[in-house]
Structure formats: C-alpha cells, structure tokens
Amino acid sequence: MNIRHFSFNPYQTNCFVAWEEEGTCIVVDPSFRSGAESDRFMAALEQLGTRPAAVLLTHGHADHICGVGELQEKFGCPVHMSSADIPVCEITLPGFTQPDKGFSTTDIRDGETITAAGLGFKVITTPGHTPGSVCYLNEKYGVMFTGDTLFAGSIGRTDLPMGEYDDLIRSIMDKLMGLDGDTDILPGHGGRSSIGWERTHNPFLEPFNEKEEEYNPE
C-alpha cells in the first residue's frame, strides 16, 4: 500500500491518501481548506494519477473535515463516518473558522470492513475524543489510521464538548492495545508510531505499560 501524507490548516491536521494501483485511492480526513491548500491537494492527486473512491473520516471535528465537501462535490465519492459524530461537525474549534458541512455521510459500524480502491479497512470504534471516533485498520499491511484517539506518545484531548476521558482510555486499552505490536499507527496530528511502542512508552498509558518492545520508525 502506498501512502502520501499531508498536513493542513492551523491545527496541522494530517490527511492521508492511500492506494495500491494508480487510478483510485482512499482519502483519510481531508483537512485542507479552500484556496492554496485545496490547490496543492488537487494538484497532488493529479500528479499521482488518482481520484478518490472513498473518504474515511476518523471523527467530525472541523479541522478533519475541511475538504470533504469539495471532494464529494468534485468526485462524487462516498464519505464514511460514524453517525454518532454528526453533532460533532457543528462544534466550533478555538481559532478555527467552522467549515460548511455540505456533504452527506454513510454510517459505519464496529467491525465492518470498508472496501474501496482495492483496499480494505476494518472499522474500530473508539469513542472518547468524540462519541463517534473510529480507527481504520488495514490488516493486510498492518497500518491503522487512528485520528485523534491515539498519537505518538500521547492520546486525544477530551476537554472539547462531547469528549469523555474514561471512554477514551477504555477504547485505547480494550480496542487498540491488544493489536499486533508491529501495527503502524498514523495519527491525526504528529508523526507515526506503532502499537508496540505506545503500549511500552506512552506516558498517558503508564499504569498499563508493558515491558519494552523494540520499534524502528525508519
């Protein structure tokens, strides 16, 4: 699986394009805003020779959904998001202009596999950062998009409306920490990591840290 990483908007929110063969791709959290960011993203798609077959949203915060409406209007692609996060799309983030939702979504369920552009992603519901936060796991390649649930060395914030710390910790421990330690995680902000590294070193999970596991991010 090929993955192209972008970082957009004042929150430096990660956006990922993933594909196996030229022609179609999936886009995770299109975080670009209109103008220069949109132009850069669309030019990258053209350069890659690909068009979105589906959009996967890890949750509904404004900094993760900026470009969804434009993508859906231009390409007609389905947008997958938990219906529990529809109200989250209306939450205003500090210092961030709220985007017009302007797109339709397809609800997702825990454990289902979304297949698009020849790639399959298992939906893992991880409420806490938001009620409808999810992670997307590609079991074939051992890659998971974690949104704002789990970061490299940190966890998602829960001080925004509808956030719940206890739910977040349960989600991480019950749904993510039991995965293969070699599973790469690509979060909504910051750099990549692995499940093994996080369950050994993540300071926010210290009561649950296990013995040290080796991980080479290169």
Q: pLDDT digit string (tens) for 86-118?
A: 999 999 998 887 776 789 999 999 999 999 999
pLDDT (mean) for 197-213: 77
215 pLDDT higher than 70: no
Strand segments, DSSP code E, in 9-161 are 13-19, 23-28, 50-56, 79-80, 113-116, 119-125, 134-138, 143-147, 150-151, 154-155
Please say whether the beta carbons of 134 and 151 come within 8 A: no
Pseudo-torsion of CA 27, 112, 153, 7, nearest 10°? 10
207 pLDDT higher than 80: no
Q: pLDDT digit string (tens) for 131-190?
A: 999 999 999 999 999 999 999 999 999 999 999 999 999 999 999 999 999 999 999 999
Query: What was the pLDDT predicted at 210?
Result: 52
Domains for the chain: give ranges and CATH numbers. Answer: 2-208 (3.60.15.10)
In this prediction, residue 209 has a pLDDT band, given cuts at 50, 70 and 90, of low
Stretch among 30-44, 111-125, 194-208 having the lowest mean pLDDT: 194-208
